[in-house]
């Protein structure tokens, strides 16, 4: 996401955090991102609007701010979004995405000038195709001033409908890819679809080698020993080590994981710095948290969740 924000001319990032904020702080420090990524910590959950009010003193741009939900993956053109916002004269511009079933999303209708004339948050009655809120916005500082202090606030239910009624909310239609990755199953599906998307994975990470079946992604500094079989539909993040004879298929493996000799991992998600022992079996649909040690010869049954 940071690379995508950089392409959109976003120079500084503020992460609004509550749950697991200490872990994120350590991750930012480990990646030497402290000068570019600032943290705003909520003592209690503040919804989608309250964190903006809390972080207001940290905002560098006096005019407008880019706001992105942390549970979306997309290739929205942030420069194009910003240009459309400037031209519109609106107080806020929201990116819109077309989906075949709108029931799980906020439905948005715009007029011929791209002004939002209806903004309706998630409703199971909104069956069928339509344009939805993509969770990427540009907001003028006046919008942040609308947000009450010290309590949870929903942009979608309390702020955007007011702006729409005042004809101060602009919609910008996005034609590229967009995924909601807020649930593990959706996160896996998005990664697998992107893995198969032509041109999305750089050639340097589509390693053509014995034992690697495409589509697969191998991050920098991965080590795959002789006899191991990787893929198809497998993602190995930076620094993963795969032992001799291991079989890794349909899985997402996070950074610095060690997969022991002759282990087998099918359709699983494995968190950072975890070790899967020699001859261990990780069944399909399993999720293993970071910094876990799976013993030699252990069997993690299909659909299991292993926490540290």
Residue 127: both structure tokens together = 């069956």
Rounded to an integer, what distance in angstroms lies between the CA atom of residue 221 and that of residue 205? 11
Task: Please report, for residues 38, 154, 179, 234, 260, the alpha-carbon distance to residue 182 in angstroms, rounded to integers and kept in the order given.
Answer: 22, 17, 9, 20, 30
- What was the pLDDT predicted at 203? 62
Going by pLDDT thresholds of 50, 70 and 90, the confidence category of residue 19 is confident
**Averaged pLDDT score across all residues of the chain:** 92
Of 173, 145, 172, nearest to 159 (Cα)? 145
Q: What is the CATH number of domain 2-182?
A: 3.90.550.10
Q: Tens of pLDDT along 229-284?
A: 999 999 999 999 999 999 999 999 999 999 999 999 999 999 999 999 999 999 99
Residue 212 per-residue DSSP state: B
Residues paired with 294 in a beta bridge: 276
pLDDT bracket for residue 292 (50, 70, 90): very high
Domain 213-306 in CATH 3.40.190.80? The answer is no
| Alpha-helical segments (H) within the chain | 2-7, 21-30, 50-54, 78-88, 141-145, 160-165, 184-195
Distant-in-sequence, close-in-space partners of 251: CB < 8 Å, separation ≥ 6: 234, 235, 265, 266, 267, 268, 269, 270, 282
> How many other C-beta atoms are found inside a 10 Å radius of the C-beta of residue 30?
9
Task: Using pLDDT thresholds of 50, 70 and 90, give the confidence band for residue 27.
Answer: confident
CA distance 15 to 19: 12
The DSSP element (H or E) to which 248 belongs, if any, is strand 247-249
Question: What is the structure's pLDDT at 184?
Answer: 94
pLDDT of amino acid 208: 62
Query: What contacts 189, CB < 8 A, 6 or more positions away?
Result: 179
- pLDDT score of 1: 83
Average pLDDT on 47-61 reads: 92
Residue 206, pLDDT above cutoff 80: no
Q: List the structure tokens of 143.
A: 């919008």
User: Domain locations in the chain?
Assistant: 2-182, 213-306
């Amino acid at each position: 996401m940071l690379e995508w924000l950089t392409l959109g001319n976003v120079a500084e990032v503020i992460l609004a955090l509550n749950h697991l904020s200490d872990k994120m702080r350590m991750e930012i420090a480990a990646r030497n991102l402290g000068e570019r990524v600032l943290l705003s910590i909520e003592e209690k959950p503040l919804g989608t609007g309250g964190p903006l009010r809390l972080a207001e003193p940290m905002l560098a741009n006096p005019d407008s701010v880019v706001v992105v939900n942390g549970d979306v993956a997309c290739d929205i053109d942030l420069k194009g979004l910003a240009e459309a916002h400037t031209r519109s004269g609106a107080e806020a511009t929201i990116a819109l995405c077309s989906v075949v079933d709108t029931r799980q999303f906020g439905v948005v209708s715009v007029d011929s000038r791209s002004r939002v004339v209806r903004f309706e948050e998630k409703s199971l009655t909104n069956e069928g195709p339509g344009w939805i809120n993509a969770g990427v916005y540009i907001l003028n500082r006046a919008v942040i001033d609308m947000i009450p202090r010290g309590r949870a606030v929903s942009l979608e239910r309390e702020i955007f409908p007011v702006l729409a009624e005042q004809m101060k909310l602009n919609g910008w239609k996005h034609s590229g890819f967009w995924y909601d990755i807020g649930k593990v199953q959706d996160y896996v599906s998005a990664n697998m679809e992107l893995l198969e998307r032509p041109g999305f994975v750089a050639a340097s990470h589509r390693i053509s080698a014995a034992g690697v079946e495409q589509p697969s992604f191998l991050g920098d500094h991965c080590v795959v020993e002789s006899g191991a079989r990787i893929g198809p539909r497998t993602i190995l993040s930076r620094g993963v080590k795969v032992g001799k004879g291991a079989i890794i298929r349909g899985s997402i493996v996070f950074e610095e994981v060690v997969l022991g000799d002759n282990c087998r991992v099918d359709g699983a998600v494995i968190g950072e710095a975890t070790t899967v022992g020699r001859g261990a079996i990780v069944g399909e649909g399993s999720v293993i948290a970071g910094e876990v040690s799976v013993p030699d010869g252990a069997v993690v049954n299909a659909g299991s969740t292993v926490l540290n």
